[in-house]
Every structure is written in structure tokens, then in C-alpha cells.
Structure 1
Amino acid sequence: MGEKATSVEEYLNALDPACRAELERIRALVTRLVPGTEETISYGMPTLKYRNRALVYFTASKKHMSFYPSSWAIEELRDKLTDYKTTEHAIQFTLEKTLPSALVEDLVRVHVREIDADRQ
């Protein structure tokens, strides 16, 4: 992308169709699981907010996509993430090895729980 996107839709529209479809699948999963999320761009990434806090971020780069559910969720579910490259805050995946819907939902549920508990 040349210029920075100012909306989630603009960000997704600039992607390769296959990557776009995968990130739209994740977006739909999260918004179905957590109704009332707000969409924004934060740190240059599509962001879904819950209770005025970032719930998840998701991005696409040349070689992989990334999902940012929170360091708490990654740590708690680390045993389910052994097939993916992870950092403290992100899970990297590809079109060949996508994140299963149940795993995305589990990661989101952990972060919702932590936000509801007002964990900082």
C-alpha cells in the first residue's frame, strides 16, 4: 500500500484478494462473537475495539498475515499455537496455514475476559 489507509475497508480493499478474504473471515468471526465492536485504524493496522479498548488487530504483509489478540491470550493459549510463529503480541499465519475459527474465537474470548476484568 502506498498511502496509509484511513479505514478498515480501505485497508482491506488494497490487499490481494486471497489475503483480503482471509482477514475478512477473521473480522467477521470477531464481530459475530463480540457484537458492538468498533472498527478503526490504529498503528496503521485494522483494529476492532471493545469497550473503547483494542480487542484485536490484523494485518497482511508480503509473506504472512498477523493476528494480534493480546499478549495475555497468546500466553494463555500458547499450547494451541505451536504450529505458528508467535511474538509477545502477534501470531503469524499464511494462506496455507490459516488460523482455525475455533482458535480465533478462543483467543478473542480470553481478551474479552481480561478487558471485562479491567486488566491493564
Structure 2
Amino acid sequence: MTGRAEVDAYIAAQSPAFAAALTALRARLRALLPDHVECLSYAMPGFRQPGAKGRMVVGYAAFTHHLGLYPHSGSVIPQIDCAPFKTSKSGVLFSPDTPLPDALLTAILAARAAELVAARARKA
């Protein structure tokens, strides 16, 4: 099964409200990360950088009572004001009725991109 097919199956297995919210988030992420590759990582859908050694940029998941967005880094969410959403060290939680605002989604992706660029520069 390809990355997209795995993500399709993951979303299809959710309740209708969660599936609709995940589908909308997926489309927004795809628009913001057009050259990235869809995949499953840590059993959640997400996007990785293009190329053979592309790093995970962001993942998202459904749980019993909420959805979550995870930038695959423990240092991104603590540096961003995610209020009024609940957060953990590694993600921000939301509901189908209250999706993440575009500005917050963009800020999370920008912080993760900057972190990946810095990591690449340290390796060079």
C-alpha cells in the first residue's frame, strides 16, 4: 500500500466527523507542503520532506475525544502560543468543531521547517 493509500485507509476508519476534519486538515497541509510526501509515521498520517532521506515534518492523528497535530519535534510546540488549544510537549489538540486556525498551522510548520534547516546546517 502506498503512503496515500495508507492515509486514505486511516481516515476512512475514523468516525464521520473525525474523518471530515482529518480530510480538511490533510488538504490544508498538502497545500502548505506541496512537494512533500504523504506517509504514515508512528502509526499516524503525515508529511515528510521529499527525497530518500526526507525527515518527517508533521503528523496528525485521531483519538477517542480529540484530534492532534504533531510536528515530530518536542521543541516546536513550546515555542508557539497555541492558546486556546490544549497542548502537550509534542503536539496541539483540537476537535472537529474547532479546527486549527491557518495562522497557527502556518506558525507550527514554519517553526518545524526552521528547525530542519538548522539541523541540516549543523550536519554540513
Structure 1-normalised TM-score?
0.83
CA distance in 1, matches of 2:49, 2:106: 15
- Please show how residues 1-120 of structure 1 align to structure 2 within 5 Å: 7-51=6-50, 52-69=54-71, 70-77=73-80, 79=81, 81-118=82-119
CA distance in 1, matches of 2:98, 2:30: 22
- Tell me the SS of whatever aligns to 1:35: coil
Letter in 2 for 1:102: A
* Count of aligned pairs between the two proteins: 113
CA distance in 1, matches of 2:88, 2:95: 15
CA deviation map 1:49-88 (0-9, x unaligned)? 11411111101111001110233321221x2x12122111
Greater relative contact order structure (CA < 8 Å, 6+ sep): 1
Letter in 2 for 1:75: P
- Tell me the SS of whatever aligns to 1:21: helix
| Distance apart, 1:23 and its partner CA | 1.4
| Distance apart, 1:16 and its partner CA | 1.4
Match of 1:3? none
Q: Specify every segment of 5 or more residues in structure 1 that has no aligned partner in the other structure, as ranges.
A: 1-5
**Percent of aligned positions that are identical:** 31
CA distance in 2, matches of 1:117, 1:35: 21
CA distance in 1, matches of 2:106, 2:24: 12
1:29–1:105 contact (8 Å) kept in structure 2: no
Letter in 2 for 1:47: G
CA deviation map 1:8-60 (0-9, x unaligned)? 11101111122112112221122211221111111111121114111111011
CA distance in 2, matches of 1:90, 1:106: 13
